[in-house]
C-alpha cells in the first residue's frame, strides 16, 4: 500500500458539524429539536451525492473496483452509475486490456455489484455501452433508428409499367409506392437556359454548379469569408424557388438571393445555410439540400451572395427553378437539425410560406394513389399508367447509421429504434438483461438504477408501425402527404407544413412514450428505476418536459465553465415539478480541459447557482475508475472534475460532500414555490421554453407543457394546482399564433374556474388534424376567452378568472397582488430558491457577485421568525434583526465571497424578545499566530517533498520556496504551531481563520478535530477546543496536482513521479499558490 493511502486511511475526515454553535442559541430558538433540523445536522443516506463512475478504455481491475467503492463510502458518496466508456485514440486516454464482455469484465462487474451491496453504495448502469444513448452490436438495421428515403421516376400515361422497386441495399427495407400526378416543372432543367456562372472569388469548377451531376462539386478557396455567384441566363425565367445542394464539406454562411431589376441587383430573400456540423447526431442527412421559396420573379440575371462564411463553402448544385418547393422541407422533417448544443425555443419554428396560386404546381392529396397492392412478393411493380405525366415514388426505410457513443468496439453498434418499445425490449435484454441474469440477485441488492444520459443521437422520422399510429392519433392517413418529404407541396404550403408539424409532434411524443416510457417499464419490471437527463445537446427530437416526465428520475447538468447547464437544469426541474418528482438531479461540475486544476472552492459558486435552478440531488462528474495502485494521479480524460481517490483533495473533499448533503436535504423538503408557469407551446422538438415577457427580479417560474395542462392541472383558490401541491399564480402563453382546440378548451375551463392567463389570443391550429374544422373551433374559443368583460385596459374577466393581454409582466403581477418572493437591494447578485413545508419556509440564498456583499432583502413571508442555517458548517442560529409584517419580512445580510445559506422561517412563531444584535457581526481580532511553523510533507514518496519536517520561519506559498522539492510539491502538508490565549471566551464564538487556500484544510486544536476550511469565510469554530493558556494547532493543507505536474514536465520520462494520460502543463506553466500563506488569526464573534 502506498503512502498516500496509508495516510488517508489513518487520518480520515471529521464532520463539519459544530453542535456548540447550535446549543449557544437563545432559549427561544425552536428549530433545534425539529425533524428538519435533525436531518440538517445529520443528513440521511438518501441525500448523499452520487457519481458517474466511468470504466474507461478497458482499464479495469476487480481490486481497483473495491478500492473505488470503499473510497466513495469513506467520503459520503451514496451511489455510482457505471458507464462503460470507450474513447477514441485522438482523445488522449490510453487503452487497457480488459475488453467489454470478457471474463475479466464480467468478474469486475460482479465484484462491483457485490462490493457496493456490502458497503451500502447504490449502483446504476448506463443502459448501453457509452454515455449516449441506447445501442450496441446486437442492434440490426431493421431494429435501428430509421428514416424515410425515396426514389422517383417520371412516367407517361398509357403504358403498362413494369419495374423492380426493391432496394439495392439489403439494410434498407421497402415501405410502399405512390403514384402522383406530376406537378408542372417537375423535370425542369436549368441547363436549357444555358446559364453562365461567374464569381468574384477563387472557386474551382464553377460549371459543376448547374450540370445536374451530384457527384461533382464546386468549392471556394479555404479562408474566403464572403463571395458571390452571378448567374446569367440566355433568356428570362420566372423562378419561385432556390435549392442549394451543399458540397460535403462543413460550412455555414448568411445568404442573399438577388435578382436584376431595372439595371440593378435587388435582394429578394435573405437566409442562412448551416451545414457546419456533419455529424448524423444532428440529422440523418448531414449535407441535406436547403430549399428556399419566394414570390415569383422574372429575370435573366441572379446573384447568390455569401457573407460571414465559416468553414470552406461549396456546392454540388444550385437549382433556380419555377417549380414549387416547400421551404426548409429537410429541416422540417428532421433530416437536418440544429447544429450546436443549445437549441433555444424558436429553433424549430419557421416563417409562414406564401401560398402557390397555380394549382398545377402542387399535388392534390386526393389524387395520390397507393400502388403497394400492385407490387408482388418479388418486388415487381406492374401498373397500367393513366393518361398524363406521373411520378412513381418508392419509399423505403433506411438506418440513420448512428451508433452508441463513446463505446469500445466490442460494445458499439447501431442505435435502437426510439419509437418502438418492442425493439427496445430486445436491446434491454441484450445488455442490462444479461447483467441481471448473470449476477446473482443476492450480490446485486443495491443495483437500483437504469441510466440514460443526455440525448445525442439525432432523430428518426419513421418506424414500422408509424402509419397506423399516425392514423390513430390524427385521424388521417399520412401516405398521401409523403411527397412533402421530397419538397413537393401537397394540398397547399400551409397544409404541407401542418403535416410535417404533426409528424414532428408524433416523433417527439413517441420518443417520450415508447423510448423513455419503454425503458422505465422494462427497468421497473426488473426492479430498476430509470434515471434520465431530459434533453439533448445534439439532435434532440423530443419535447423536454414530456420526455422527462416519462422517467422515474429526471436530471439536468452543468459545467464548471461555459454555458452548458444554463438551460438544462431548469428543463429538468420544470419536468420534475410538473410531473410530480421530488428529486431534481444534476450531473454536476462537468468540465473540459484544465485537468486536476479544480478544487471545491472553485466549484461552489456554480453548484450554488444550480440549486437556484431547482437542482436538489447532486451527481458528481466524474469518478474515473482507477484500476491500479502505481500510477498517480492516475487514469484521466479530457473532461471532468476528478472526483476520485487518487486526486489530492478527494478525502478532504468529504467536507464538500457534507455541504452538498445538507443542501440536498433541505432542498428536497416540502414543495417548490414558483409563481409563474410559462407554457412552452405545442411545437416540437423542444429543449427549453421561452419567457416572454420576462419575469421581474424576485419571482420564480417553471415551464409547463400541454400534456400536464390537459391531464394534471386544476384550479384552487385562483391558482393553478398540481396533484403534488405545486401551484402557480399565473399562466403565460408563448408568442405563437397556434394552439390545438382541445388544449385551448382546457385553458378556457381553467380560466372559467379562476385561473389567470397572460398572452395573446391564438388564431388557428398548427395541425392538419380535423382541418379546417379545428381552426374554426380555435377561433370561437379564442373569441370567447379574450372577449370577456373589460376590467381595465389589457385585463378582462372571464368566469372566475382573468385574461390579460398587451400589458407588462409587472403590471400583471401587481394587478393580482403578487409581491416579489424575495427582493434584494443588489438585484441578481443574490439568487435564491424557495421551498415550503407545513411548518417552515425555506429560502436558499447564494452570493453570486464575486465578492463580499452587504444588502437587505424582503421576503414574502409574514408573522414568522427567521433563522440562518449554514450548510458549510452545519450550524443554525437566529437572525435577530428583522422587520416583520403580516405578509413580508425584511432582513439585513453580510455575505462573504460565494457564501450561501438557508433563511428558515418558523411559521407562526412570534418575534423574540432578545437584545438587538447584528445578523452577521464582524469578527474581532484576538491574535495572529506567529512563526515558526513545523511543516511535514505527508505523502513525500509520491510527490517528492522533503521526508523530514521543515521549519517555516514565515508563511509563504510552496511555489515560492527555493527548495524544488517544496516548490513542485502536490499533496497534503501538516503545519504545527501553538499560541497563548490570555483568557477563555465562553460567551463568544472563537474562530481560527486560515486565509484563502487553493485547496482545502482540516484543523485540530489541542488534538481535537474542529472541522475543515474550504471556502469563504475561510474559518472554523474552535470554541469547544480552545482554552486559556497554551493551545496547540495543526492545520493539514492539501493543494492540487498542478505543481507536481509542472515539475514533472521539466523531467525526463524515467524521472517523472506522476503518471497520467491527458495533461497540458508545459514547463513554463504558472505555478499554483499552495499551502498556508497567512496570516492565520484567531477572532471572536458575538452572535
Report, as an integer, the average pLDDT of 666-672: 99
Local structure of 453: helix, strand or coil: coil
**Residue 917 confidence (pLDDT):** 83
Share of the chain above pLDDT 70, in %: 97
Residue 828 scores a pLDDT above 80: yes
Domains of the chain by residue range: 49-127+431-455+535-668, 190-322, 674-815, 924-1085
**Segment 586-640, tens digit of pLDDT:** 999 999 999 999 999 999 999 999 999 999 999 999 999 999 988 999 999 999 9
The whole-angstrom separation of Cα 570 and Cα 562 is 16
Report, as an integer, the average pLDDT of 20-44: 65
Q: Do 985 and 1084 form a contact (C-beta atoms < 8 A)?
A: yes
**Residue 974 confidence (pLDDT):** 98
Share of the chain above pLDDT 90, in %: 93
**Residue 912 confidence (pLDDT):** 66
pLDDT classification of 34: cutoffs 50, 70, 90: confident
**CATH code for 49-127+431-455+535-668?**
3.20.20.80
The whole-angstrom separation of Cα 458 and Cα 282 is 5
pLDDT classification of 910: cutoffs 50, 70, 90: confident
State residue 228 phi and psi, 5-degree precision: -150, 155
Residue 662 scores a pLDDT above 70: yes
Beta strands in 141-277 (DSSP E): 146-156, 160-164, 173-181, 196-199, 218-219, 227-246, 251-261, 264-275
The whole-angstrom separation of Cα 987 and Cα 980 is 19
Q: Which residue has the cell 430573400?
A: 269
Closest CA to 282 of 541, 599, 525, 17: 541
Q: Do 685 and 348 form a contact (C-beta atoms < 8 A)?
A: yes
The whole-angstrom separation of Cα 503 and Cα 500 is 5
Which residues make beta-bridge pairs with 865? 906
Q: Do 336 and 277 form a contact (C-beta atoms < 8 A)?
A: no
Local structure of 752: helix, strand or coil: helix
The whole-angstrom separation of Cα 68 and Cα 644 is 8
Q: Do 866 and 891 form a contact (C-beta atoms < 8 A)?
A: yes
Number of H helices, E strands in the chain: 22, 53
Closest CA to 53 of 135, 131, 133, 106: 131
Report, as an integer, the average pLDDT of 557-577: 96
The topology (CATH level 3) of 190-322 is Jelly Rolls (2.60.120)
**Residue 33 confidence (pLDDT):** 67
**Residue 939 confidence (pLDDT):** 79
Distant-in-sequence, close-in-space partners of 1011: CB < 8 Å, separation ≥ 6: 14, 15, 16, 18, 655, 873, 1002, 1003, 1020, 1021
Q: Do 288 and 461 form a contact (C-beta atoms < 8 A)?
A: no
* DSSP-assigned states of every residue in 591-614: -BS-TT---HHHHHHHHHHHHHTT
The whole-angstrom separation of Cα 444 and Cα 107 is 13
Residue 25 scores a pLDDT above 70: no
Closest CA to 497 of 369, 328, 344, 367: 328
Closest CA to 416 of 688, 130, 684, 151: 130
Domain 674-815 indexed as CATH 3.40.50: yes
Q: Do 400 and 460 form a contact (C-beta atoms < 8 A)?
A: yes
Report, as an integer, the average pLDDT of 268-277: 98
Set of cell numbers at residue 953: 520561519
Residue 17 scores a pLDDT above 70: no
**Residue 12 confidence (pLDDT):** 34
Set of cell numbers at residue 160: 403498362
Average pLDDT, the chain: 95
pLDDT classification of 4: cutoffs 50, 70, 90: very low
**Residue 916 confidence (pLDDT):** 66
The whole-angstrom separation of Cα 267 and Cα 409 is 51
Q: Do 647 and 596 form a contact (C-beta atoms < 8 A)?
A: yes
Residue 686 scores a pLDDT above 80: yes
Pairing of strands 633-634, 719-721: unpaired
The whole-angstrom separation of Cα 714 and Cα 727 is 9
CB atoms within 10 A of CB 790: 10
**Segment 385-428, tens digit of pLDDT:** 999 999 999 999 999 999 999 999 999 999 999 999 999 999 99
Report, as an integer, the average pLDDT of 728-733: 99
Q: Do 1038 and 1006 form a contact (C-beta atoms < 8 A)?
A: no
Closest CA to 435 of 520, 515, 526, 516: 526
The topology (CATH level 3) of 924-1085 is Jelly Rolls (2.60.120)
Q: Three-state SS string across 19-85, please?
A: HHHHHCCCCCCCHHHCHHHHHHHCCCHHHCCEEEEEEECCCCCHHHHHHHHHHHHHHCCCEEEEEEE
Set of cell numbers at residue 425: 425490449
Residue 752 scores a pLDDT above 70: yes
Report, as an integer, the average pLDDT of 850-854: 98
Task: Work out the angle at residue 907's Cα, subtended by the Cα atoms of residues 905 and 908, and round it to the nearest 5 degrees.
Answer: 130
pTM of the complete model beyond 0.85: yes
Radius of gyration of the chain (CA): 33
**Residue 914 confidence (pLDDT):** 58
Domains 674-815 and 924-1085 share a fold: no
The whole-angstrom separation of Cα 880 and Cα 920 is 10
Alpha helices in 316-390 (DSSP H): 329-332
Closest CA to 1079 of 981, 977, 994: 994
CB atoms within 10 A of CB 761: 19
Q: Do 1038 and 971 form a contact (C-beta atoms < 8 A)?
A: yes
Amino acid at each position: 500500500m502506498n503512502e498516500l493511502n496509508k495516510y488517508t486511511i489513518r487520518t480520515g475526515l471529521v464532520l463539519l458539524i459544530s453542535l456548540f454553535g447550535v446549543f449557544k442559541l437563545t432559549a427561544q430558538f425552536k428549530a433545534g429539536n425539529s425533524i428538519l433540523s435533525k436531518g440538517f445536522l445529520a443528513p440521511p443516506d438518501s441525500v448523499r451525492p452520487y457519481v458517474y463512475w466511468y470504466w474507461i478504455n478497458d482499464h479495469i481491475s476487480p481490486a481497483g473496483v473495491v478500492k473505488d467503492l470503499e473510497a466513495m463510502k469513506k467520503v459520503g458518496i451514496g451511489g455510482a452509475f457505471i458507464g462503460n466508456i470507450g474513447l477514441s485514440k485522438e482523445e488522449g486516454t490510453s487503452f487497457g486490456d480488459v475488453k467489454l464482455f470478457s471474463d475479466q469484465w464480467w468478474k469486475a462487474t460482479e465484484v462491483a455489484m457485490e462490493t457496493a451491496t456490502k458497503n451500502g453504495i447504490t449502483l446504476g448502469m448506463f443502459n448501453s455501452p457509452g454515455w449516449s444513448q441506447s445501442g450496441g452490436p446486437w442492434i440490426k438495421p431493421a431494429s435501428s433508428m430509421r428514416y424515410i428515403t425515396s426514389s422517383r421516376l417520371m412516367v407517361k400515361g398509357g403504358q403498362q409499367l413494369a419495374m423492380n422497386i426493391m432496394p439495392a441495399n439489403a439494410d434498407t427495407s421497402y415501405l410502399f409506392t405512390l403514384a402522383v400526378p406530376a406537378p408542372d416543372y417537375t423535370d425542369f432543367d436549368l441547363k436549357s437556359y444555358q446559364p453562365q456562372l461567374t464569381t468574384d472569388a477563387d472557386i474551382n469548377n464553377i460549371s459543376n454548379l448547374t450540370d445536374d451531376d451530384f457527384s461533382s462539386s464546386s468549392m471556394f478557396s479555404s479562408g474566403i469569408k464572403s463571395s458571390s455567384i452571378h448567374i446569367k441566363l440566355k433568356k428570362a425565367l420566372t423562378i419561385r424557388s432556390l435549392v442549394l445542394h451543399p458540397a460535403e464539406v462543413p460550412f455555414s454562411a448568411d445568404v442573399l438571393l438577388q435578382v436584376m431589376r431595372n439595371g440593378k441587383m435587388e435582394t429578394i430573400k435573405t437566409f442562412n445555410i448551416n451545414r457546419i456540423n456533419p455529424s448524423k447526431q444532428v440529422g440523418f442527412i448531414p449535407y441535406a439540400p436547403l430549399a428556399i421559396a419566394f414570390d415569383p420573379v422574372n429575370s435573366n440575371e441572379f446573384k447568390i451572395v455569401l457573407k460571414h462564411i465559416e468553414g470552406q463553402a461549396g456546392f454540388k448544385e444550385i437549382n433556380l427553378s419555377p417549380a414549387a418547393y416547400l421551404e426548409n422541407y429537410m429541416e422540417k422533417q428532421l433530416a437536418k437539425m440544429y447544429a450546436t448544443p443549445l437549441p433555444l425555443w424558436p429553433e424549430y419554428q419557421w416563417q409562414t410560406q406564401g401560398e402557390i396560386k397555380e394549382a398545377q404546381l402542387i399535388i392534390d392529396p386526393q389524387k395520390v394513389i397507393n400502388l403497394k397492392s400492385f407490387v408482388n412478393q418479388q418486388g415487381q411493380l406492374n401498373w397500367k399508367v393513366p393518361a398524363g405525366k406521373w411520378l412513381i415514388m418508392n419509399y423505403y426505410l433506411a438506418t440513420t447509421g448512428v451508433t452508441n457513443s463513446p463505446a469500445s468496439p466490442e460494445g458499439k453498434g447501431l442505435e435502437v429504434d426510439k419509437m418502438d418499445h418492442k425493439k427496445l425490449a430486445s436491446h434491454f435484454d441484450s445488455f442490462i438483461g444479461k447483467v441481471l441474469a448473470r449476477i446473482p440477485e443476492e450480490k446485486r441488492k443495491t443495483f437500483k438504477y437504469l441510466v440514460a444520459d443526455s440525448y445525442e443521437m439525432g432523430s428518426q422520422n419513421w418506424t414500422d408501425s408509424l402509419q397506423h399510429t399516425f392514423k390513430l392519433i390524427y385521424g388521417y392517413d399520412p401516405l398521401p402527404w409523403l411527397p412533402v418529404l421530397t419538397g413537393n407541396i401537397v394540398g397547399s404550403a400551409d397544409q404541407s407544413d401542418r403535416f410535417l408539424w404533426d409528424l414532428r409532434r408524433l416523433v417527439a411524443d413517441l420518443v417520450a412514450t415508447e423510448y423513455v416510457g419503454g425503458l422505465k417499464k422494462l427497468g421497473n419490471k426488473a426492479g430498476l428505476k430509470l434515471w434520465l437527463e431530459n434533453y439533448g445537446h445534439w439532435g434532440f427530437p423530443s419535447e423536454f418536459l414530456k420526455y422527462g416526465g416519462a422517467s422515474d428520475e429526471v436530471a439536468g447538468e452543468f459545467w464548471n465553465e461555459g454555458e452548458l447547464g444554463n438551460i438544462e437544469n431548469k428543463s429538468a426541474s420544470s419536468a420534475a415539478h410538473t410531473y410530480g418528482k421530488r428529486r431534481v438531479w444534476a450531473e454536476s461540475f462537468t468540465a473540459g480541459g484544465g485537468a486536476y486544476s479544480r478544487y471545491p472552492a472553485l466549484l461552489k459558486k456554480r453548484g450554488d447557482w444550480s440549486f437556484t435552478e431547482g437542482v436538489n440531488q447532486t451527481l458528481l462528474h466524474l469518478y474515473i475508475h482507477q484500476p491500479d495502485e502505481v500510477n498517480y494521479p492516475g487514469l484521466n480524460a479530457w473532461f471532468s472534475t476528478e472526483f476520485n481517490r487518487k486526486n489530492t483533495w478527494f478525502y478532504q473533499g468529504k467536507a464538500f460532500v457534507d455541504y452538498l448533503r445538507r443542501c440536498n436535504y433541505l432542498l428536497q423538503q416540502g414543495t417548490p414555490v414558483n409563481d409563474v408557469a410559462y407554457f412552452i407551446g405545442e411545437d416540437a422538438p423542444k429543449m427549453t421554453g421561452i419567457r416572454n415577457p420576462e419575469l421581474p427580479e424576485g419571482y420564480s417560474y417553471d415551464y409547463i407543457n400541454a400534456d400536464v395542462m390537459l391531464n394534471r392541472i386544476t384550479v384552487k383558490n385562483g391558482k393553478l394546482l398540481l396533484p403534488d401541491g405545486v401551484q402557480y399564480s399565473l399562466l403565460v402563453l408563448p408568442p405563437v399564433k397556434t394552439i390545438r382546440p382541445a388544449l385551448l378548451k382546457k385553458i378556457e375551463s381553467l380560466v372559467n374556474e379562476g385561473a389567470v392567463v397572460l398572452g395573446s389570443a391564438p388564431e388557428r391550429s398548427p395541425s392538419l388534424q380535423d382541418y379546417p374544422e379545428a381552426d374554426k373551433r380555435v377561433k370561437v374559443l379564442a373569441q370567447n376567452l379574450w372577449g370577456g368583460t373589460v376590467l381595465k385596459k389589457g385585463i378582462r374577466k372571464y368566469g372566475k378568472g382573468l385574461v390579460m393581454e398587451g400589458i407588462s409582466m409587472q403590471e400583471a403581477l401587481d394587478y393580482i397582488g403578487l409581491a416579489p418572493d424575495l427582493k434584494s437591494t443588489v438585484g441578481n447578485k443574490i439568487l435564491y430558491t424557495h421551498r415550503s413545508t407545513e411548518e417552515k419556509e425555506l429560502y436558499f440564498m447564494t452570493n453570486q457577485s464575486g465578492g463580499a456583499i452587504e444588502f437587505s432583502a424582503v421576503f414574502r413571508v409574514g408573522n414568522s421568525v427567521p433563522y440562518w442555517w449554514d450548510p458549510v458548517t452545519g450550524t443554525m442560529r437566529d437572525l435577530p434583526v428583522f422587520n416583520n409584517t403580516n405578509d413580508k419580512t425584511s432582513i439585513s445580510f453580510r455575505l462573504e465571497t460565494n457564501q450561501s445559506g438557508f433563511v428558515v422561517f418558523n411559521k407562526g412563531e412570534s418575534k423574540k424578545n432578545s437584545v438587538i444584535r447584528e445578523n452577521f457581526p464582524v469578527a474581532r481580532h484576538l491574535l495572529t499566530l506567529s512563526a515558526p511553523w513545523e511543516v511535514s510533507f505527508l505523502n513525500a514518496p509520491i510527490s517528492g517533498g522533503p521526508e523530514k519536517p521543515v521549519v517555516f520561519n514565515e508563511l509563504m506559498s510552496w511555489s515560492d520556496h527555493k527548495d524544488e522539492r517544496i516548490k513542485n510539491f502536490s499533496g497534503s502538508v501538516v503545519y504545527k504551531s501553538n499560541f497563548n490565549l490570555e483568557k477563555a471566551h465562553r460567551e463568544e464564538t472563537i474562530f481560527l481563520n486560515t486565509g484563502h487556500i487553493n485547496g482545502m484544510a482540516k484543523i485540530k486544536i489541542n488534538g481535537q478535530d474542529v472541522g475543515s476550511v474550504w471556502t469563504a469565510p475561510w474559518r472554523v469554530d474552535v470554541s469547544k477546543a480552545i482554552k486559556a493558556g497554551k493551545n496547540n494547532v495543526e492545520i493539514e493543507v492539501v493543494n492540487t496536482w498542478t505543481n507536481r505536474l509542472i515539475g514533472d514536465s521539466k523531467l525526463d520520462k524515467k524521472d517523472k513521479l506522476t503518471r497520467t494520460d491527458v495533461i497540458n502543463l508545459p514547463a513554463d506553466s504558472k505555478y499554483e499558490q499552495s499551502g498556508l500563506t497567512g496570516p492565520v488569526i484567531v477572532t471572536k464573534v458575538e452572535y
